[in-house]
Structure 1
Amino acid sequence: MELYRMQNRTSFGFSAENPTGTKGGGTRGKDCEKLRPYIQIQPGETVTLCDTDGPGMITHIWFTGYIGHSFVLRMYWDGMEKPSVEAPISAFFGCAYDENFADRDGSYPVLNSAMVLVAPGRGFNCYWEMPFRKHCRITMENRGDKAQTLYYMISGWYGELPADSGYFHAAYRQEHPVQKGHAYTVIDGIRGKGCFVGMTLASGMNGHNTCWVEGEAKMYIDGDTYPTMNYTGTEDYFCGSYGFGNDIILNRYQTFSGLYAGLYAILGDTGEMYNHQKRFMLYRWHVKDPIYFNEDFRMKLDNLGWTGPRYDDYTSVAYWYLTEPAALPVELPDDKEMIMK
């Protein structure tokens, strides 16, 4: 973006201190006085965080407070009754193992990418651009059994959109465990014209590790029987190689967090080359290499090790744009089915 170019736009920001997002609608407190820095969401309650007319663009979302899977984030575009974005807040920000606050080094896991930032202390930031022509509504549901706190800021601008602007979509899936001998479905049932722009993955090892990253990522475009995009292995799809360093020289996994890809956190690592019950958190953004489709799109990811098919726990969120807002092709599992430790 060329920041020096003056645009015909008006900025907005929805927060606990300005829940209507209106001009001059923020705190009436005095200097250094907090009146409403957060909200409480009761069990079973859904709170509207942003409700506004377009045209405009969401450019940044920040959350903290309770950031577990019982908070479900939803986004509705242009008056749609069903959401085009639906995912537990933790998985949406690539942090599905939300009950583990320290990585193998005893620090907060930090996802430091161009599109999503998970900062120390669990500050969740999203930089995906989300255009809307007529209307935008963003909600948070508490599916847990006790009240939880949410701090938030949703910001963007009102103004003219390019005619070819698409709508942002995101959907959650999990298999705990993956059915042995069958590929894990990242997303299926996307219809229309658009582009796939990335995914997050949380993988939990069941049984002996034996290099779980042999599985291929496969993308099926516009009616494919066989995949058009066929990556060579799981670590290769997430832009690494050789077991993220575990297969050569060091004989241990090494984390990394880049602009568009990363294995940014390892949990439960005792330092052994192949110990049981490791947990990995990864992401891959197709920002420089979007996957375009005109009719439909689906993606699978094998769960495969050196010794053959595995039965690990896989949890993912897929992200894509469509020419029109659409209901999601998958449904969320029950809250209690999402517990990940």
Structure 2
Amino acid sequence: MTLFKMENRRNFGFSAENPTGTKGGGTRAKDCEKLSPCIQIQPGETVTLCDTDGPGMVTHMWFTGYVGHSFILRIYWENNEQPSVEAPFSAFFGCAYDENFSDRDGNYPVLNSAAMLVAPGRGFNSYFEMPFRKHCRITMENRGEKPETLFYMISGWYGEIPENSGYFHATYRQEHPVQKGRSYVILDGVHGKGCFAGVTLASGMNGHNTCWVEGEAKMYIDGDAYPTMNYTGTEDYFGGSYGFGNDIYLNRYQTFSGLYTGLYAILGDTKEMYNHQKRFMLYRWHVKDPVYFDEDFKMTIDNLGWTGPRYDDYTSVAYWYQTEPKPVPFTLPEDKELIME
């Protein structure tokens, strides 16, 4: 932390009470009076939440209200027509199973990390630093069939950013189910110089769950024919071991949520050791171990169990930085295809 350093910066905060984010642009309400705490987004409507010139940096985003996948979050840098961030709202915050509001213990799932926070009850927070030089625009689209409510606060500062600053990117993928015998692609089609920053993964078991975490995470850097970064298993990549505790001693999966990695939520019946209806939500931030690339980057993960390849439902969002703002490399599925329950 460097809070003691006095910087030449000026804050901004975009919210329903201050939609222009301007200095002194907040509520004209009296003390203890609310005028505009939230907004309504109509079906098919896209609302601009933040539209501002730089240089500057987004440092925090908070949202609540409707928290489902029919909301699509997009971020555009430097007046580009194509977004560099595009993902269903809930999946972006690592909470892709957004129709399940309680975990196996009957509590709100809580993701408590350095980069993201999902707090009771469904307060979505991002602490990723997002610098921009000329312009930043953040939008929310409602692809659902009814009006939905959104509470939000997008904050940061104006001021000079380091010359070597990269632009934040995030993209969504899903395979429901994963093609059996083929690696699931988390990120591909990334070209240029950059840094891989992390991934969130939601996995839904199909068929009997005879241990689903044998799949290896692999990263291909700058034209690799074979991966440079080759992790030994799914639970190993996400910081755990031995089936997240299911294989030894307790014989049940155990959640954990650390600064940079975690299996933070287990959903579904847990009476059986390997219940086929379990759902898992995981995250891994490469904050202390960033993965750099100069030309291109690809990441895959196998869907593999003790008995061989599986066909589970995988949903992911990949996060990375690049020297130039690029369009997301994947196309979103239709809203009706985003079945996350």
**Deviation string, structure 1 residues 282-308 (Cα, Å, up to 9, x no partner):** 000000000000000000000000000
Q: In the aligned structure 2, how far is the partner of 1:224 from the partner of 1:189?
A: 13
1:227 aligns with 227
Instruction: Tell me the residue number matched to 2:205.
Output: 205
What do the CA deviations read for 1:211-244 (whole angstroms, capped 9, x no partner)?
A: 0000000000000010000000000000000000
Instruction: Give the match for residue 74 of structure 2.
Output: 74
Q: Does 1:174 align with 2:174?
A: yes
1:130 aligns with 2:137: no
Query: 1:50-129 counterparts in 2 under 5 A?
Result: 50-129=50-129
Identical aligned residues as a percent: 82
Q: Secondary structure at the match of 1:276?
A: coil
One-letter identity of the residue aligned with 1:301: I
Normalised to the residue count of structure 2, the TM-score between the two structures is 1.00
For residues 44 and 191 of structure 1, the distance between their equivalents in structure 2, rounded to whole angstroms, comes to 32
**Residue correspondence of structure 1 range 1-341 to structure 2 within 5 A:** 1-341=1-341
CA distance in 2, matches of 1:132, 1:2: 21
Q: Distance in 2 between matches of 1:145 and 1:31?
A: 37
Aligned to 1:164, the other structure's residue is in SS state coil
**1:86 aligns to what SS in structure 2?**
strand
Q: Which amino acid aligns with 2:76?
A: Y
Query: Which amino acid is the alignment partner of residue 196 of structure 2?
Result: F
Q: Is the 8 A contact 1:114 1:260 kept in 2?
A: yes
Structure 2 Cα separation of the partners of residues 59 and 164 of structure 1: 17
User: Structure 1 residue 131: deviation in Å?
Assistant: 0.2
Q: CA deviation at 1:245?
A: 0.1
SS at match of 1:235: helix
Distance 2:223 2:23 in 1: 47
Structure 1 residue identity aligned to 2:231 = Y
- Displacement of 1:270: 2.3
AA aligned to 1:54 is: G
Q: Distance in 2 between matches of 1:2 and 1:161?
A: 15
Code of the residue aligned with 1:72 in structure 2: it is I
Distance in 2 separating the partners of 1:30 and 1:271: 53
Q: Alignment RMSD, CA only?
A: 0.4
Q: Which amino acid aligns with 1:288?
A: K
Show structure 1 runs of 5+ residues with no match.
none
Tell me how far 1:336 sits from its aligned partner: 0.6
* Cα distance in structure 2, aligned partners of 1:251 and 1:107: 21
**What secondary structure is seen at the aligned counterpart in 1 of 2:337?**
helix
Query: 2:243 is paired with a residue of what secondary structure?
Result: helix
CA displacement at 1:162 relative to structure 2: 0.5
Residues 252 and 271 in structure 1, CA contact (< 8 A), matched pair in contact too: no
Deviation at 1:339, TM superposition (A): 1.4
Distance 1:339 1:292 in 2: 34
Report how many aligned residue pairs link the two structures: 341
Amino acid at match of 1:326: K
Counterpart residue type for residue 27 of structure 1: T
**TM superposition shift of 1:272:** 1.5
SS in 2 for 1:236: helix
Larger mean CA deviation between 249-258 and 270-279 belongs to 270-279
**Cα distance between partner residues in 2 of 1:3 and 1:161:** 16
Deviating more after overlay: 242-251 vs 271-280: 271-280
SS of the equivalent of 1:219 reads: strand
Deviation at 1:66, TM superposition (A): 0.2
Task: Determine the C-alpha separation between the residues in 2 that align with 1:270 and 1:4.
Answer: 48
Deviation of the 1:56 alpha carbon: 0.2
Distance 1:271 1:319 in 2: 35
Which amino acid counterpart does residue 180 of structure 2 have in structure 1?
K
Q: What SS does structure 2 have at the residue aligned with 1:44?
A: coil
Amino acid at match of 1:46: T
TM-fit CA distance, 1:328: 1.0
> 1: CA distance between counterparts of 2:327 and 2:172?
13
List, as ranges, runs of 4+ consecutive aligned residues in structure 1 with deviation greater than 2 Å: none
1:76·1:136 contact (CA, 8 Å) conserved in 2?
yes
Partner-residue secondary structure (3-state), 2:220? strand
CA distance in 1, matches of 2:169, 2:269: 34
Deviation at 1:269, TM superposition (A): 3.0
Give the letter for the 2:183 counterpart: A
Shift of 1:271: 2.7
- Report the CA distance between 1:145 and its aligned residue: 0.3
